[in-house]
Structure 1
Amino acid sequence: MSRTTEFVLGLLGGIIGVFAAFFALLIGGVDAAFSSDGSSDITGLGWFAIIFSIVGIVGASMVKGKTRLAGILMIISAIGGLISISMFYLVSAILLLIAGLMAVFKKNKKATT
């Protein structure tokens, strides 16, 4: 069965998540520049969001071979990224969550010959 929908949604979610994480890193850098101690928690959370986005992209690339594992990876990526950088990751989390749930719960049709 073709899993093109899950692949495309997961890939888009991961790519948008990487851009959102870089935006969070930018905000964290500005916050660190203006803070009194020269550091920011947002920067660390942005790096975690990049890791979760990469996990989502890996899950999307695995969706045609190991469907359930790929779905679980995309769901973990959606939840982890949303916890990391909240609203920056919202669009990406929605895409990854839909793709992950489709990969986990969609049944394969048997080919008739």
Structure 2
Amino acid sequence: MQKAGGIIALIAGIFGIFAAGFTLMVGGIGGAAEAEGASTVVGLGWGGVLFSFLTIILGAVAMGSVSRKPGILLIISALAGAVLGGTLVAIFMALALVGGILATIGAGGSQVAQAS
């Protein structure tokens, strides 16, 4: 199950990058039009880029890991990305959260299977 969680997190991170790029584009257009709050939207876009890249990295690590740490870090990254990444990024971070939960549960199950 940890490989499935890692793959789901990778997909969510890739789509999160596209969502963050769209958020940056909207913020840039708002900044060019001197709209109020455009700098906030740009900041949310950069937060989305950061946490989407972190999700991709942690998803790749979670696929080959035997411990629960990458899955737990993936859950934390998904929650932080949902809060600090904007609405579009939050949609894909919810998918990354599911991937992190699967990676955490899968790693725990494989340790029990190896012990017996």
TM-score past 0.5 threshold: yes
Q: AA paired with 2:113?
A: K
Higher alpha-carbon deviation: 79-88 or 48-57: 79-88
| Larger RCO (CA within 8 A; separation ≥ 6) | 2
Distance, in Å, in 2 between the alignment partners of 1:67 and 1:10 is: 17
Correspondence list, 1:20-31, <5 A: 20-31=19-30
Give the equivalent residue in structure 2 for 1:35.
34
Question: CA 1:35/1:3 → structure 2, altered by over 3 Å: closer, same or farther?
Answer: same
User: How far does residue 36 in structure 1 lie from its aligned partner after superposition?
Assistant: 6.2
Aligned 8 A contact 2:48 2:86 in 1: no
Q: Distance in 1 between matches of 2:35 and 2:89?
A: 27
Determine if the alignment matches structure 1 residue 68 to structure 2 residue 68: yes
* Residue type at the aligned position of 1:90: A
Matches within 5 A, 1:87-102: 87-102=87-102
Long gaps (5+) in structure 2: none
**Pairs aligned (count):** 111
Q: Report the equivalent of 1:46.
A: 45
* CA displacement 1:76-104 (0-9 Å, x = unmatched): 22112211233202331121101111122
Q: Is the 8 A contact 1:59 1:69 kept in 2?
A: no
Unaligned runs of 5+ in 1: none
Q: Which has the higher helix share?
A: 2
The one-letter amino acid of 2:84's match is S
CA separation of 1:61/1:67 partners in 2, compared to 1, >3 Å: closer, same or farther? farther
Q: CA RMSD in A?
A: 2.3
- Shift of the alpha carbon at 1:111? 5.1
Q: Identical aligned pairs, as a percentage?
A: 30
Contact 2:10 2:59 (C-alpha < 8 Å) held by counterparts: yes
